[in-house]
A = this chain, B = another copy of it.
Amino acid sequence: MAAPRDRETRKLDTLNMLTTPAIDIWVATAAAPSEPHLVPLSLAWIDERVVIALEASSPTARNLSASGVARLAVGRTRDVVMIDAVLDRTVDVAADEALGAAYVAQADWDPRGLTGYVFLVLRPVRIQAWRESNEIPGRTLMRDGAWLV
């Protein structure tokens, strides 16, 4: 097992991961305790927000509209960034030119021409990053929406 990274390194690695071109994010939402949902989606990191694009009628979009909350994971299970996030705003894919351009600049597909698709802009509330069990201490890098490091 490698030595644990210090927190400054973890933040830098986290931001590098979140801005990686064509990277996907796991998005967990729920309609009810007995209806957890989980899907992989393309991610863009724009102005400290996680931006995803999906059909407004999909379970993930409907769950987020109703609950306002998602739990997100980026990376591999042994080099992970976990994000608890809240829904900031929902934007039709054709409605915000700057947002659309920024999304397409990082993601490897372009949803802007698709009917019924929306951007969901998610605001991180808590961010944790760890690799192996020796990085569990100190894993919280953001709390209540504020970076701790």
Contact = CB atoms under 8 A, between A and B. Distances in A.
Interface string A12-47: 000000000000111011111111111110000000
A33 B32 contact: yes
Contact of A37 (B35, B40, B71, B78): B71
B29 A26 contact: no
A101 interface: no
A80 B40 contact: yes
Interface string A56-74: 0000000100111111110
Each complex incorporates copies of this chain amounting to 2
B67 A34 contact: yes
B38 A28 contact: yes
A82 interface: yes
Contact of A31 (B33, B66, B68): B33
B40 A36 contact: no
A71 B30 CA distance: 10
A9 interface: no
Contact of A32 (B30, B73, B78): B30
Nearest to A68: B34
Given A33-B66, A33-B67, A34-B68, 12 more contacts: A24-B76, A25-B77, A26-B26, A26-B38, A28-B37, A34-B69, A35-B69, A36-B36, A36-B67, A36-B69, A38-B72, A40-B80
